[in-house]
Amino acid sequence: MSNSGSDTSESSTFEHAPVLVDALVELSASLPAGTFLDGTIGGAGHSKALLDARNDITILGLDQDPMALRAADSYLTPHDGRFVLHRCRFDQLAEAMEETKTDQLVGFLFDLGVSSPQLDIAERGFSFRHDGPLDMRMDTDAVLTAATVVNEYSHQDLARVLHMYGDERHNQRIATAILAARPIRTTTELASVVVEAIPAAARRTGGHPAKRSFQALRIEVNNELAILAPTLELALDALVPGGRGFVLTYHSGEDRIVKDVFRQRTASIDPPHLPVERHQPDFQLLRPIARKATQEEIERNRRARSARLRSIERVAA
């Protein structure tokens, strides 16, 4: 898909405030000219800012959500000819680069998690605040839905998903409550079951009590964590010297994966037979710790509260 002249009404429906966009533009100022990968383009807020700031960069934008791609196409229209959009999940990066004849990248961004428009559209089933079907698929053609997970997974598997992907300490109680309430058909039904399963004292802090469970189900439905590390490795391999990679995380599990990949790529390697000069890594971290949103940005966009921007640079061929 490329520059298809989308309906602007869908673009306005998919309005999405990009998180830490000023930091991304600042850190991209010294990139070489070439192709920048937006591996989760969504509403294209980050890509638009990069194209506005750099007239020598083109965007390869990937997304598995056809609605997001149509909105991105419309939003990027002022930069017609400087972007190519491709529908796929980001772990299909190699195929996308081959099909779009992209050999190397000067940078990449993966903005993980779910976008605000996806949360706000009840029919997508991502939100505990809006009544909708138990869906949660980013790729609307995918087979697995949240309804399958909620109504067909065993108690053991449900508890595992809630704990592993939601850091939910009441996972066993919630799994028991879900099995007792089956069949559960809507997001508000599920949210009510989850809230009732959590002890009253634990409901008073930490935001909506169902937040972690809905996050866990979304990650399970879209297989988000399993595909992250190998995709990062592919993107890093495609970077030119001086190229930079950026990842926005919103959850401890995905952030841990990004840290581990970046740590391995920036570590010196001791040769097995000394004395031999140590192999210097091809990458360096731009910052030792993740960048966070300012309080001002958090007040404008509450999604930024949990965001962590991690960055890495290729320093050698």
**Rounded Cα distance, 269 and 64, in Å:** 37
Q: How confident is the model at residue 147 (pLDDT cuts 50, 70, 90)?
A: very high
* Mean pLDDT of all residues in 170-175: 98
Q: What's the pLDDT tens digit per position in 226-268?
A: 999 999 999 999 999 999 999 999 988 999 999 999 999 999 7
**Where in the chain are the domains?**
8-113+225-314, 121-222
4, pLDDT greater than 90: no
**Rounded Cα distance, 286 and 110, in Å:** 16
280, pLDDT greater than 90: no
174, pLDDT greater than 70: yes
Q: How confident is the model at residue 115 (pLDDT cuts 50, 70, 90)?
A: confident
The pLDDT, as a whole number, for residue 302 is: 83
Selected residue with higher pLDDT from 279 and 224: 224
8-113+225-314 — its CATH code?
Answer: 3.40.50.150
13, pLDDT greater than 90: no
29, pLDDT greater than 90: yes
**Rounded Cα distance, 306 and 293, in Å:** 8
Selected residue with higher pLDDT from 115 and 175: 175
Q: How confident is the model at residue 270 (pLDDT cuts 50, 70, 90)?
A: low
3, pLDDT greater than 90: no
80, pLDDT greater than 60: yes
Which residue type is seen at 204?
R
Q: What's the pLDDT tens digit per position in 288-301?
A: 999 999 999 999 88
12, pLDDT greater than 90: no
Mean pLDDT over each residue of the chain, to the nearest integer: 91
Superfamily covering domain 121-222: Putative methyltransferase TM0872, insert domain (1.10.150.170)
| Dihedral sign, Cα of residue 303, residue 63, residue 146, residue 121 | positive
**Rounded Cα distance, 134 and 119, in Å:** 12
**Rounded Cα distance, 115 and 142, in Å:** 18
